[in-house]
Amino acid sequence: MRLIVLIVFATLLFSQDAIIPIPQKVSYDKAKAALGKALFFDPTLSADGTVSCATCHSFAHGGADDKPVSIGVFGKKGRMNSPTVLNARYNFRQFWNGRAKDLAEQIDGPVHNPVEMGLSTEALVEKLSQNDYYRQTFAKLFGPGPITYKRYKEALVEFEKSLVTPNSKFDRFLRGEAKLSPIEMQGWHLFKMRGCITCHNGINLGGNSFQKIGSIMPYEGAPLDDRYTITKNPKDRYVYKVPTLRNVALTAPYFHDGSVATLKEAIQKMAYYNLGTLLSDHEVAALEAFLRTLTGEIPDAR
């Protein structure tokens, strides 16, 4: 009993500073971000001219995909659920298994992956160089000379740095500008008391550590592209970057394999797999109400 009390007390102390609001303004190069936005939404920059970054990262779905796995060029299916691009600037690594160290390195994956956009560096640069708008805009922003893959990535990164979602109800609550409803407040307390905050903390409520799905009860799905594929350490089976919970009400389906259809189900299963507990219906409803307060201002997709 004493150990349980100490754990709860430590969790409460930790939770006081564990989550901070997203800044209402962030710094980025607006001119380069405008070019990056055009690149992000342009499906011609793929092998068959049908897939853009926005295809798998829809702002209407919280910067993620509404399908369990995304459909790439020539109708090919991916293996993993597409994570949100919103607030990705705050992730300590990119991709579920953290194989990219930053936003610039992350771009290489979907561009070159034959089941996503399927372009070589040379093919991408050729497509950009044949477009009048891109030729003129790259020259204006970067100076004379040919369009390069490095400059393409630099513009995309600036756009992705702009994709933050401030002023969620919970952020406003943390700043003392709004009150949570009784059930939302219950959910916030449960989030801390049940231990969710142990992994989902920081500015992004996740995205800042690797954790195992099924740390208490074994996960029933396959260990797709987990940390083991990077480290070859057997202990890294089923270990993934903890996903952000910001805008989580918009990003269904859930989990690395896209196997969970609803937020309610995701709460129930994570409590079982990683906390070893079965939540009551009221606890699930309260946690869901709290998680819905994490939806911020979604960037303009136009």
What's the pLDDT score for residue 17?
54
Which positions of the chain have pLDDT values less than 70? 1-17
Does residue 287 belong to any structural domain of this protein?
A: yes
Angle at 170 between CA 169 and CA 172, to 5 degrees: 65
DSSP calls for 52-78: -HHHHSBGGGTTB-SSSS-B-GGG-B-
Does residue 261 belong to any structural domain of this protein?
A: yes
Does residue 182 belong to any structural domain of this protein?
A: yes
Of 132, 161, 190, which residue constitutes the final position of a domain? Answer: 161
Stated pTM of the model: 0.92
Q: Are residues 231 and 204 located together in one domain of the fold?
A: yes
Does residue 134 belong to any structural domain of this protein?
A: yes
What's the pLDDT score for residue 302?
73
Q: Are residues 275 and 259 located together in one domain of the fold?
A: yes
How does 58-95 read in b/e, with b if 16+ C-beta sit within 10 Å? bbebbbbbeebbbbbbeebebebbbbbbbbbbbbebbb
Q: Are residues 120 and 180 located together in one domain of the fold?
A: no
Q: Are residues 104 and 217 located together in one domain of the fold?
A: no
Q: Are residues 105 and 199 located together in one domain of the fold?
A: no
DSSP symbol at 121: H
Does residue 131 belong to any structural domain of this protein?
A: yes
Neighbours of 240 (CB within 10 A): 23
Neighbours of 18 (CB within 10 A): 15
Look at residues 215, 222, 190 and name the one whose alpha carbon lies nearest to residue 274.
Answer: 215
Of 137, 161, 185, which residue constitutes the final position of a domain? Answer: 161
Contacts of 9 (CB under 8 A, 6+ apart): none
Of 161, 176, 191, which residue constitutes the final position of a domain? Answer: 161
Q: Are residues 11 and 54 located together in one domain of the fold?
A: no
Q: Are residues 107 and 61 located together in one domain of the fold?
A: yes
Contacts 24+ apart (CB under 8 A), 217-224: 217/272, 217/273, 217/276, 218/273, 219/273, 221/255, 221/257, 221/259, 222/257, 224/79, 224/80, 224/256, 224/257
Separation of alpha carbons 84 and 71, rounded Å: 16
Q: Is the dihedral of CA 42, 137, 95, 171 positive or negative?
A: negative
What's the pLDDT score for residue 38?
98
Does residue 297 belong to any structural domain of this protein?
A: no
Active site residues: 116
Does residue 299 belong to any structural domain of this protein?
A: no
Domain containing 156 equals 30-161
Residues 109, 78: contact at Cβ < 8 Å?
Answer: no
